Amino acid sequence: MPDLADLTPTFSSNFTNFVSSPNGSVGWQTTLPHNLRTLATNHELEYYSDPSVGYDPFSVQNGILDITAQPEANPDGLPYASGIITTEGSFSQLYGYFDMRAELPAGAGMWPAFWMLPANLASTREIDVMEMFGNNTLQYGVTDHSPGSGLATTNVSTPDLSQGFHDYGMYWTPTSISFYFDGKLVANMPTPADMNVPMFMLANLAIASNVNAATHFPAHMLIQSITAYAYNPNNPGPTPQLDVSHPTQISGATGQSIALSGVSIIDTDLSGAGSITADINDKSLGLLTTSPIAGVNTTGENSWNLQLSGSLPAVDAALATLTYENIPTTTTAPTQDTVTVSAADSDGNMDAERIAVSLAPGPKLSFISVGPAAIRYEASGNDVFVLTNGQIANPTTNGGQADHLIGFHSASQNPAGWDFLALHGFDPTATLVFDHDADVNGVPNGSMQYYHVASAAGNSPIFLVQMANGSTAHLVPHDYGFYPT
C-alpha cells in the first residue's frame, strides 16, 4: 500500500452525518448516471430509492452509513428497494488512491460494490475496486473495464466479509492499477492506455437475480468511510508483473481457420507452483480452438469464449496453438471482429489486451433451424444447421425418429463448400460427443453417425449426421461450434 503520508487527501467522508440529493446538487448523489435507479442490463432487482421518491434506505449511527435493502414498493415495481451513493458532479479525479471501509451483507443476491466511472460518461471505462456476491462472503472481485484493452479481473480470497469492517483500496497511476485489502497488495495490472480520464466514486448495494427464499431481509451494507488521495509521481506504485503479448491485428476470411500467432503471457512474478488462467473471447461469436496440452484445463473449446488454466508454461503452449474461425450466425457475415485475451495469475497479477480481426467474405451460407419435430434434410455443402438446447428432436417422443442431416460436407472433406452445426444455448461445459454408428440391416454404417451434446445439465437427444460421399470421418471442431443463444 502506498504510504498515505506521501499523498495529499482530496476527499473524505466519515459519515458523522449524511447529506444527499437525487442529482448530487447537495452532498452525495443517490441515483446512477442519467438519473437511473436500477441497471436493467444486469437483470438487477432493486430500485435505488431515497426520501424524494418514498422509502429512505439511508441511516447513520455512530459514524456509520447503513444502506438497507428490503422488499419495498417503488415506482418501477421492482421487488426490492436499496441505495446508491456517488460523487458524480461533486468530485472526480485522475489517478490517486481511493478507499472504502465497510462491512458487507451475506446472502444469495446480495451484490455490494465500490467502483468508479468516467466523469464525462463518454465511454464504458470502469474500475471495480470491490464487488462481492453474497452467496460467497470469502472472496470479492476486482475488475478493470477498458474499451481498448478489454476486461481484466481476478478474485481475492478473504476472511468472512460479513463479519467485520475491512478496507478496500485501489492506487491508480499512469503505469499501474493496484488493489489492496486491509492495506495488503492483492492484485496488480498495467494501466490501459485509455484509462486516463478523471473518474468519480460509487458505492451501492444491488440485488442480483439469484436472490432466493433463504436470503435474509432487511440486508445492510455498512460504510464507515470513503476517502481519496491525489497521485504522487514520487510514489509510482508497484511495477506490473504480468503482460499479455499479442498481435494488434489479424486477417482472413469467414469460414477460414486463422492462427492467432504471437499470443503469450509474460509473468515475472509467478512462482513455480503458481497457476494462471487465460480467458479468450470474441465479440462476433467466432470459434476459438486450441490443441490439447498436458496440464491445461480447458472449458469452452470450439466456442466464442475459451478458458485455459494451468501452469504458465502449459498455458503458453496451448496459446501457441490458438486458432480463430468465424462462421456467420446470420446471413450477414461480419467484416470485423475483436478477440480479447485476458489473464490472471494466482498472485493477483492480471492484464487484458484486444486483437482486431479483419474478415473477407467467405462462402454464402443458408440457415436451417432444426427441431423440435424430427426432420430429414439434404445438406447442400453451404448450410448452417442451428441446433438449440431443448429443441433437438427426441426420438422417444417422435416415434423413434431423430433429426437426420443427409449428405453433410465436412470442412476437411470439402473446404470450398461445407456444412456446419451451430449449437446454441448450451452451458460452457458442453461438448459434442459421437454416440454410435447407425445400424443398417444389421451392419454398422460408418458414414451414418449419431451424436449428442454432453453438458453439466445432462445429454441432449441423439441426432444423425450422414456424411457426404460415404465418408466415415467423424465431425471435427471446424464442423461445429457452440454459441451462447
Q: Which residues are catalytic?
A: 126, 131
Q: Are 38 and 47 in contact (CB under 8 A)?
A: yes
471 bridge partner residues: none
> Which residue is listed with cell 461438448?
431
Cell of 369: 433451424
Q: Are 131 and 140 in contact (CB under 8 A)?
A: yes
Q: Report in angstroms the alpha-carbon separations of 202 from 85, 137, 441, 479.
A: 6, 21, 70, 46
> Which residue is listed with cell 510514489?
235
- 375 burial type by CB count under 10 A (0-12 exposed, 13-18 middle, 19+ buried): middle
180 bridge partner residues: 169, 185
- DSSP state letters, 76-119: T--SEEE-EEE-TTT--BSSEEEEEEEE---STTEEEEEEEEET
- Please report the beta strands in 311-364, taking only residues with DSSP state E, as ranges in sequence order: 323-325, 336-345, 350-360
Closest by CA position to 420, among listed 282, 484, 325: 325
Q: Distance (Å, rounded) from C-alpha 165 to C-alpha 186? A: 17
Cell of 243: 503482460
Helix/strand/coil for 319? helix
Helix/strand/coil for 172? strand
**Pairing relation of β-strands 420-424 and 480-483?**
parallel
Find all residues with CB under 8 Å of 159, minimum gap 6, and list them.
Answer: 138
Q: Distance (Å, rounded) from C-alpha 459 to C-alpha 252? A: 35
Query: Left (φ > 0), alpha (ψ -120 to 50) or beta: where does 376 sit?
Result: beta
Q: Report in angstroms the alpha-carbon separations of 372 from 10, 141, 298, 329, 449.
A: 62, 41, 31, 20, 20
The C-alpha angle with vertex 74 and arms to 108 and 26, in degrees rounded to 5, equals: 100
